[in-house]
């Protein structure tokens, strides 16, 4: 599959998701952008590296880099390889003793690690074609796996389930089970069962 190189273009406060930011990755030799909604912690981790700031104590991504360096593991590249049901999927490609390993990661964490290792960031045509539309459209999507808006926080408390369509609840139930969030899964299952009676 053809790889598309990306560069960090911008991080800005999200106008539609309270307490979140939009990380924009730009196509290196093109005009398309890949905007990703991320949390404030991840935005800070990326901004710290972009601005070449040195925190008093290592941040989580700095610790990850130090750990890999200690074991002589290199980060070769980051690949944002899939966009599914509003979530980006990324791999951090590492190498040790000429052996490569792909580590599954959230896109925001993968970008923060790539910047620290000065490793290239890639995506593919399928992801770029699906997501590279307008900034406004992309902000309506929850694109980073663990980011939650205030509306989602209400949903996680079990509120707002009655306003969701039945087929949407089925999808959310599957996602909750995959994420091992059994408390949320039981609330969704109860709402589904209530409607099917």
Q: What share of the chain is helix, strand, coil (3-state, %, to 5)?
A: 40, 30, 30
Give every CB contact of residue 161 below 8 A, 6+ residues apart in sequence. Answer: 155, 169, 187, 188, 191
Q: Of 2-11, 31-40, 179-188, where does mean pLDDT reach its minimum? A: 179-188
- Contact 25/8 with Cβ under 8 angstroms? yes
Mean pLDDT of the chain: 83
Place of tokens 């944002």: 80
- DSSP annotation of 106 reads -
Both tokens of residue 80? Answer: 């944002």
Tens of pLDDT along 52-62? 888 888 889 99
How far apart (Å, rounded) are the C-alpha atoms in residues 114 and 121?
A: 7
Q: pTM of this prediction? A: 0.68
Which has the higher per-residue pLDDT, 181 or 157?
181
Query: Cα 128 to chain center, whole Å?
Result: 15
pLDDT in the model for residue 37: 93
Task: Please indicate whether residue 9 or residue 192 has the higher confidence score (pLDDT).
Answer: 9
CA distance 182 to 136: 33
> In this predicted structure, what is the pLDDT of residue 181?
65
Q: How many angstroms separate the CA atoms of 104 and 10, rounded?
A: 24
Most confident of 28-37, 98-107, 139-148: 98-107
**Using one digit for the tens of pLDDT, what is the confidence trace for 121-162?**
999 999 998 887 534 343 434 445 555 444 444 444 455 676
Please compute the mean of the pLDDT values over residues 89-101 and round it to a whole number.
97
Q: Which domains does the chain have, with CATH numbers?
A: 3-139 (3.10.690.10), 150-196 (no CATH)
Q: How confident is the model at residue 17 (pLDDT cuts 50, 70, 90)?
A: confident
CA-wise closest residue to 111 among 177, 189, 23, 186: 23
Beta strands at 3-13 and 121-124: parallel, antiparallel or unpaired: antiparallel
pLDDT at 135: 40
The pLDDT of residue 136 is 38
Residue with tokens 């710290």: 48
């Amino acid at each position: 599959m053809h790889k598309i190189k990306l560069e960090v273009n911008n991080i800005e406060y999200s106008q539609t998701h309270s307490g979140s930011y939009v990380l924009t990755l730009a196509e290196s030799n093109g005009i398309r952008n890949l905007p990703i909604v991320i949390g404030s912690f991840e935005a800070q981790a990326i901004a710290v590296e972009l601005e070449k700031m040195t925190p008093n104590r290592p941040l989580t991504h700095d610790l990850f880099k130090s750990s890999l360096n200690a074991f002589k593991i290199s980060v070769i590249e980051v690949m944002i390889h899939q966009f599914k049901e509003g979530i980006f999927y990324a791999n951090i490609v590492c190498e040790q003793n000429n052996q490569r390993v792909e580590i599954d990661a959230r896109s925001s964490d993968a970008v923060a690690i790539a910047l620290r290792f000065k490793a290239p960031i890639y995506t593919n045509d399928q992801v770029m074609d699906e997501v590279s539309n307008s900034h406004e459209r992309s902000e309506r999507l929850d694109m980073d796996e663990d980011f939650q808006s205030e509306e989602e926080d209400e949903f996680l408390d079990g509120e707002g389930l009655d306003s969701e369509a039945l087929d949407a609840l089925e999808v959310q139930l599957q996602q909750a089970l995959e994420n091992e969030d059994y408390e949320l899964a039981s609330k969704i299952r109860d709402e589904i069962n209530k409607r099917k009676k």
